[in-house]
């Protein structure tokens, strides 16, 4: 009967598909409530053996919080602290320990896939002012700025993380039978930071406990971050290879309190979709629609062209070698409205929010009123600094996201020591990973004003929240992003929006974004690589040396 009704309402093929989906067995490769209890019990048991008191959080692979346990005597707050001066940006800001453990778990979960397993230590390695950290005269980390994504105020993220993405060691991905299913995060030392010296092989107790928590839920060895090289540099995974093996205390006897309910992973936010003949997924919340100056058919064309490009692009961060890139692709119009999102199967979930941030950033900085909007929102100092460098934010330059990021580094040109900061960055004396400049300043109020979490328990799946923007600029409701993978799109000489790509190496993201925007490229004369700042040519796009698979 159900099949007959579906056929009448949706047509035969759609009805058959929906009937098939309704009758599929529950996917065993998700986290159950029992799994969450086991992971927490293993973490707390190890903490007890080490005489430490910690907060433990577990999330699913889409960032949804599945439970938090706070041990008796664990610190209730932690201090954001790195190399900056107290009071600059987020430096020395006290935040709930549960917010930190949640962000660590979510970061490990949404960074990891069937082709790569990344930890918060991995994240720390790729977000600092040099890559690798501590090596002078090297460019900024390839994901410099990604920490300010997947925020609670985002209109895109499936489940916003209280502090955004984390680089504080102590977040480890969780796998079941080789399938990425989530992450676990530990907070307890009172400091939320990044690893400024990756060469010292430190083993913080938070990381020891997190690794112990994943016993039986380990990532496959081949896909761990330490088996992935970027520019010939091996990424870290964890400094803890042999955590202590201790008897697991029964969950009901653990010393502490459940402070966020223990849940099974909910249904996925993603639904099947095909773009350009490539099978993948869409967010159930963002169907393909027309926008200001762009048709739904054109959105489909852009998504399809980008997906076809991605399908032949040699992956930069996936195992086994020879895999194709797996990314999220977003198209926005000139007002920042999301017109469509396509996700290749097994693309990292963090790319959902980041791809939209990249598209909106490229679109916004190419608008004729970008400078005026920044001034109205209270950021005139950045507009003035850009003008001093000959950058007038009046629509005369088609900025890629790579170009915006180049102007948003604490060393300009990117990574060159003993130089001044770019016009959108914090001044060098004030800079830290928690005080990067315009990107943070745009979202700081939304991130730090109580309550820090804009989403509520009343939020339902696949339904947009009431407005809770990250910024005071309507076109940038989830903030900006400052690493490569976004390009503005034009009809002739008229800006009509942008495409953003995220999920693989940044050169691969650029290559795929260019594939999507191929028929909507900006006039050559206004591309950002036609502009010089302090005698240095700005970039537009950069492609991998061998971009495509045989």
Which H, E and C letters describe 202-235, residue by residue?
A: CCCHHHHHHHHHCCCCCCCHHHEHHHCEECCEEC
Mean residue pLDDT of the chain comes to 92
116's tokens: 């790569």
Cis peptide, bond prior to residue 412, ω within 30 of zero? no
The CA distance from 536 to 409, in Å, is 14
* pLDDT 10s digits, 78-90: 999 999 999 999 9
Report the DSSP pairing between strands 328-333 and 278-283: unpaired
The pLDDT of residue 467 is 47
DSSP tag of 502:
E
Residue 43: band (very low, low, confident or very high) from pLDDT cuts 50, 70, 90: very high
- The alpha helices in 314-392, defined as continuous H runs, are 350-365, 370-376, 380-388
Average pLDDT over residues 317-322: 97
Predicted pLDDT at 13: 33
Q: Which of 265, 67, 353 is nearest to 185 (CA)?
A: 67
- List phi, psi (to 5°) of 356: -70, -40
Q: Which two tokens stand for residue 99?
A: 């917010």
Give the 3-state secondary structure of residue 106: helix
- Work out whether the CA dihedral 79, 109, 448, 72 comes out positive or negative: negative
Distance CA 48, CA 214 (A): 16
Q: Which pLDDT value is given to residue 195?
A: 97
Hey, what are 72's tokens? 């008796």
Cα–Cα distance measured from residue 131 to residue 332, given in angstroms and rounded to the nearest whole number: 31
- Give the pLDDT mean for 302-326: 98
| Whole-Å CA distances, 530 to 149, 358, 398 | 29, 21, 10
Secondary element (H or E) of residue 281: strand 278-283
Cβ contacts of 43 within 8 Å, gap of 6 or more: 54, 56, 69, 184, 186, 209, 210, 212, 213
3-class SS at 159? coil
Strand partners, 548: 313
8 Å CB contact between 66 and 36: yes
DSSP state of 129: S
Decide the pairing of beta strands 494-502 and 328-333. Answer: antiparallel
Residue 269 and residue 64: Cα distance in Å, rounded? 10
CA distance 83 to 72: 31
Q: Where are the beta strands (DSSP E) in 76-188?
A: 77-80, 94-96, 171-176, 179-187
Cis peptide before 221 (omega within 30 of 0): no
Mean pLDDT (whole number) for 36-40? 98
Q: How confident is the model at residue 516 (pLDDT cuts 50, 70, 90)?
A: very high
User: Is the pLDDT higher at 457 or at 271?
Assistant: 271
Please report how the helices 2-10 and 12-23 are oriented relative to each other, as an axis angle in degrees rounded to 10.
Answer: 140
- Tell me how long the chain is: 550
Give the least confident one: 172-181, 295-304, 400-409, 440-449.
440-449
**pLDDT for position 451:** 55
Hey, what are 229's tokens?
A: 């090289």
- Pair of tokens at residue 486: 């976004």
Q: How far apart are CA 119 and CA 403, in angstroms?
A: 28
Residue 53 reports pLDDT greater than 90: yes
Tokens 């676990």 belong to: 184
Q: What is the pLDDT of residues 191-243, one digit of tens each?
A: 999 999 999 999 999 999 999 999 999 999 999 999 999 999 999 999 999 99
DSSP per-residue string spanning 512-526: HHHHHTGGGPPPGGG
CB 138 within 8 A of CB 148: no
């Amino acid at each position: 009967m159900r099949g007959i009704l579906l056929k009448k309402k949706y047509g035969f093929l759609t009805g058959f598909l929906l009937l098939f989906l309704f009758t599929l067995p529950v996917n065993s490769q998700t986290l159950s409530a029992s799994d969450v209890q086991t992971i927490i019990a293993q973490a707390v048991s190890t903490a007890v053996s080490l005489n430490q008191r910690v907060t433990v959080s577990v999330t699913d692979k889409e960032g949804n919080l599945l439970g938090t346990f706070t041990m008796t005597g664990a610190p209730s707050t932690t201090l954001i602290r790195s190399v900056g001066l107290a009071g600059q940006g987020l430096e020395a800001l006290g935040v709930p320990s549960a917010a930190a453990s949640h962000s660590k778990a979510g970061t490990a979960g949404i960074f990891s896939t069937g082709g790569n397993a990344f930890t918060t230590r991995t994240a720390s390695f790729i977000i600092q002012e040099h890559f690798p950290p501590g090596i002078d005269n090297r460019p900024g980390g390839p994901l410099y700025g990604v920490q300010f994504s997947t925020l609670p105020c985002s209109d895109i993220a499936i489940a916003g993380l209280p502090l955004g993405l984390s680089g504080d060691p102590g977040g480890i991905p969780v796998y079941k039978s080789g399938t990425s299913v989530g992450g676990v995060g530990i907070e307890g030392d009172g400091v939320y930071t990044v690893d400024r010296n990756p060469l010292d092989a430190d083993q913080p107790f938070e990381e020891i406990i997190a690794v112990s928590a994943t016993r039986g839920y380990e990532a496959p060895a081949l896909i761990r971050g330490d088996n992935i090289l970027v520019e010939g540099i091996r990424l870290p995974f964890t400094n803890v290879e042999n955590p202590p093996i201790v008897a697991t205390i029964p969950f009901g006897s653990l010393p502490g309190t459940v402070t966020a309910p223990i849940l099974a992973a909910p249904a996925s936010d993603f639904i099947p979709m095909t773009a350009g003949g490539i099978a993948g997924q869409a967010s159930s919340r963002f169907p393909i629609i027309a926008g200001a100056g762009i048709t739904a058919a054109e959105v489909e064309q852009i998504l399809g062209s980008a997906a076809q490009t991605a399908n032949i692009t040699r992956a930069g961060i996936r195992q086994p070698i020879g895999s194709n890139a797996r990314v999220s692709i977003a198209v926005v119009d000139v007002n920042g409205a999301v017109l469509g999102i396509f996700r290749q199967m097994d693309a990292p979930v963090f790319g959902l929010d980041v791809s939209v941030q990249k598209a909106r950033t490229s679109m916004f900085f190419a608008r004729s009123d970008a400078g005026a909007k920044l001034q109205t929102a209270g950021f005139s100092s950045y507009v003035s600094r850009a003008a001093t460098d000959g950058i007038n934010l009046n629509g005369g330059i088609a900025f890629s996201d790579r170009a915006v990021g180049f102007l948003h580094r604490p060393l300009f040109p990117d990574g060159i020591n003993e130089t001044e900061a770019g016009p959108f960055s914090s001044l060098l004396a004030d800079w830290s990973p928690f005080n990067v400049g315009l990107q943070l300043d745009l979202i700081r109020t939304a991130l730090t004003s109580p309550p820090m979490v804009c989403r509520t328990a009343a939020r339902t799946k696949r339904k947009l929240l009431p407005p809770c923007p990250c910024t005071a600029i309507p076109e940038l409701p989830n903030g900006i992003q400052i690493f490569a993978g976004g390009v503005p799109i034009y009809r002739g000489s008229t800006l009509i929006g942008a495409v953003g790509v995220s999920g693989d190496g940044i050169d691969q993201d650029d290559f795929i974004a260019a594939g999507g925007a191929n028929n909507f490229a900006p006039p050559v004369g206004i591309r950002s690589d036609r502009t010089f700042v302090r005698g240095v040519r700005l970039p537009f796009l950069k492609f991998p040396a061998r971009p495509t698979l045989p």
